[in-house]
Amino acid sequence: MKRYDHRVPLAVLLLATGTAGVPLGGLARAADAAPEAPPVPAAPATPPFGPSNPFFAPSTLPFQAPPFDRIKDEDYLPAIEAGMASELAEMRAIADDPAPPTFANTFVAMESSGRLLARALSTFRAVTGANTDPVLQAADEKLAPELAAHEDAVYLNPKLFARVAAVYHKRRSLHLDPESLRLVEQTYLAFVHAGANLSPDDKVKLSKFNEEESKLSNTFETRLLAAAKDGAYRTNDKDSLAGLGQAQLAAAAEAAKGRDLTGYLIPLQNTTQQPVLASLTARATRETIFQNSWDRAEHGDANDTRDTIARLAQVRAQRAALLGFPNYAAWVLQDQMAKTPEAALKFMSDLVPLATAKALSEQQDLQAAVDAEHAGFALAAWDWEFYAAKVRQQKYDLDEAEIKPYFELGNVLENGVFYAAHELYGITFKERHDIPVYQPDVRVFEVTDVNGKPLALFYCDYFKRDNKNGGAWMDNLVGESKLLGTLPVIYNVANFQKPAAGEPALISFDDVTTMFHEFGHALHGMFADTVYPSLSGAQTPRDFVEFPSQFNEHWAIYPRVFEHYAHHYQTGAPMPAALVAKIKRAMNFGEGYGLTETLAAAELDMQWHTLAASAPLQNPDDFEKQALARVHIDLAAVPPRYRSSYFLHIWGNGYAAGYYAYLWTQMLDDDAFQWFDEHGGLTRANGERFRRMVLSRGNTQDLEKLYITWRGRAPTVAAMMKYRELKPAAGAAPR
């Protein structure tokens, strides 16, 4: 289920571009891979900010690349703090301008501001995510509240908002070009979204709601952390763990020791299903571990989260009502592609019968495996992964050791990822060894456009390190903007196993897919062709941002691309056809389960967040049962990926009313790939059109309209049905 867990850490929020631009709340990091923060040491003394600081002036390197050879850890904090101060001064000057507000003296001025903050912060985010250390961690800890306060100081400045609103209200008579008009509308929306147009009394109410929400959210996280810890399975009986490999057993013994316990300890993961359930042969152990997971936060003790989430849902509904919306989801979705909760709910209800039919047919296969053993029970949720592993082995017999020699990382990058981009978009790549990097594993490529002009710099940092966050992501070091005269500088980060010195880096097909995925985000950034920095590149809503990346995954297995890169690293021989066929067949295995559990969680999220402010405090268990039954996604053997009481994404991690986006963007990527399929596949003409109409546009246009203009119609789930082999159960028609 890895594909749901990719993240794009654009959580630098609007401040990354140094402008009060579009609200990027929708781009928060996905939480599955978030590591626990190590202890933070005391902050070192901050040197004064001056010309000796490498961020003092724009970089003179090609593409304004950060001068990593001159930047010291101690340089970030003073540069970012000075950057906030100077941006605030710039914003104040705009707000206090005696001239009447115009598009140029308000919006263009805001877009041009905050350059120091932008260059220091984007570089800081890159190194704290991929190459951190105690000095950077201390700076991060100190800066988090300062950056939040800085954002408030911009959005809640009434004089600034008055100017923004004045231009907004006469925007139709200003004869602005479409991108400028979009900038006015998005900026105004961001201010309103933050509560800028409330009366002073209502602003006080809003900040009380915000404060309560933040406290409840913290309480939820604290309780959940403790609940998950207590939910670990502990035993002295090695037999109950039969089926685990030596490494898993050793890890379990180590985990027990870590808590000064004897025997074995299996900690809980965030999701409902637990990885060990795929291996454990003792059904009773599987059931116990599953129940520990399912009930982790519902024991009626100090770690029970149910009261907290019931109130959280209510506070959010009340806050949305204060801001003039029927419910919280309506407030969140106004700047998303789906626009309304109804659109997201309709999409999900189209998908439910298809996903559940597929899950039920998978369940039959698994039940057959149970019956073949004369085990004499009906498959339960805690049996699913165990029998799925067996059936996968029987049906596909995929051996990683057999596959990996065909996927040498450097070859996959240049003959796969870059090759597909060259065939589609005509761009070329040349490695540069003269651009300083923050760590020796990082490689830098200059990307040249089809017309021979420089297009972007691309950094890749693929190997796992202890001081790197988990998962994979993309972000900008420098954002593209015609207003500022900047070209994009982009990086991809992943966590692939680093080979021993002199050995080749052989990766799995999952890793290959991750490379294509992150490079899809990179293309979204590289092709950016916009005037205003806050509308540029991948800075799009959550239910759009994963579309270019997931779309790019399709080329990993596209025959002409695959044949170009999947060669044995020693012999150069192409992968045998039988092995390719196995990989392709295995790709959709478990799709029914994965879709159904994700849909169930997304339904819970959306139903919690479409409660009206007037709704009474809910009983979470009753609410959850009814919510799932109402939309017919209550399969006993396929529980939601997260239960309400431990759904960290929505109660703690900024994905409230946004979990559907994972599935929505899958609809888009399949639907888009189908267009390519129908128009000759991998051709320059198709790539050019996609680049011009989609990838280069950032957030400069209404995204639903942008998509429809390119596709010729609104997206539907038909392509998901085709590529994921989904069909409604016999006798049922899709709703």
Q: What is the DSSP string of 473-541?
A: EEEEEE--BTTTTB--EEEEEEEEPPPPTTS--B--HHHHHHHHHHHHHHHHHHT---SSGGG-TT---
Spatial distance between the Cα atoms of 389 and 366, rounded to a whole number of angstroms: 10
Q: Which is nearer to Zn ion, 186 or 549 (CB)?
A: 549
Three-class SS state of 675: helix
Rg (CA), the chain: 26
Report how many residues bind Zn ion under the rule CB under 5 A.
Answer: 4
Q: Which is nearer to Zn ion, 337 or 359 (CB)?
A: 337
Q: Which residues are catalytic?
A: 518
Q: How far is the CB of 461 from Zn ion (least distance, A)?
A: 16
Q: How far is the CB of 28 from Zn ion (least distance, A)?
A: 13
Q: Which is nearer to Zn ion, 10 or 726 (CB)?
A: 10
Spatial distance between the Cα atoms of 711 and 671, rounded to a whole number of angstroms: 9
Residues 6+ apart with CB under 8 A from 94: 105, 106, 109, 110, 113, 160, 163
Q: How far is the CB of 650 from Zn ion (least distance, A)?
A: 19
Q: Which is nearer to Zn ion, 130 or 322 (CB)?
A: 130
Q: Which is nearer to Zn ion, 298 or 669 (CB)?
A: 669
Residue in 524, 526, 554 with CA at minimum distance from that of residue 681: 554
Q: How far is the CB of 465 from Zn ion (least distance, A)?
A: 20
Residue in 399, 412, 398, 397 with CA at minimum distance from that of residue 568: 412
Q: Which is nearer to Zn ion, 33 or 613 (CB)?
A: 33
Query: Which parts of 571-679 fold into alpha helices (H)?
Result: 577-587, 591-608, 620-630, 648-651, 661-678
Q: How far is the CB of 521 from Zn ion (least distance, A)?
A: 6
Site for Zn ion (CB under 5 A): which residue of 4, 6, 608, 627? 6
Q: Are strands 473-478 and 443-448 parallel, antiparallel or unpaired?
A: unpaired
Q: Using CB under 5 A as the criterion, what x/- string covers residues 487-526 for binding Zn ion?
A: ----------------------------------------
Q: How far is the CB of 545 from Zn ion (least distance, A)?
A: 7
Spatial distance between the Cα atoms of 220 and 644, rounded to a whole number of angstroms: 11
* CA distance to 211, 262, 503, 641, 705, per residue, from 134 (Å): 30, 33, 31, 35, 46
Q: Which residue has the tokens 């051996």?
A: 399
User: By CB under 5 A, what part of segment 17-46 binds Zn ion?
Assistant: none
What does residue 264 show for φ and ψ, rounded to 5 degrees?
-130, 145
Please give the structure tokens belonging to residue 581. Answer: 């066929």
Spatial distance between the Cα atoms of 434 and 443, rounded to a whole number of angstroms: 11
Q: Using CB under 5 A as the criterion, what x/- string covers residues 157-176 for binding Zn ion?
A: --------------------
User: By CB under 5 A, what part of segment 536-575 binds Zn ion?
Assistant: 546, 549
Q: Which residues, listed in sequence order, are joined to residue 447 by a DSSP beta bridge?
A: 429, 456
Q: How far is the CB of 186 from Zn ion (least distance, A)?
A: 22
What does residue 678 show for φ and ψ, rounded to 5 degrees?
-75, -15
Contact 402, 583 (CB under 8 A): no
Residue nearest to Zn ion (CB): 6
Q: Which residue has the tokens 């038909």?
A: 718
Q: How far is the CB of 410 from Zn ion (least distance, A)?
A: 22
Q: How far is the CB of 154 from Zn ion (least distance, A)?
A: 28
Q: Which is nearer to Zn ion, 310 or 472 (CB)?
A: 472
Residues 6+ apart with CB under 8 A from 1: 271, 594, 597, 598, 641
Q: Which is nearer to Zn ion, 1 or 398 (CB)?
A: 1
Please give the structure tokens belonging to residue 282. Answer: 């003792």
End-to-end CA distance of the chain: 26
Number of Cβ within 10 Å of residue 270's Cβ equals 19
Contact 160, 154 (CB under 8 A): yes
- For Zn ion, which stretch binds (CB under 5 A), given 4-12, 37-45, 231-239, 295-303? 4-12
Q: Which is nearer to Zn ion, 6 or 691 (CB)?
A: 6
The residues binding Zn ion (CB under 5 A) are: 6, 8, 546, 549
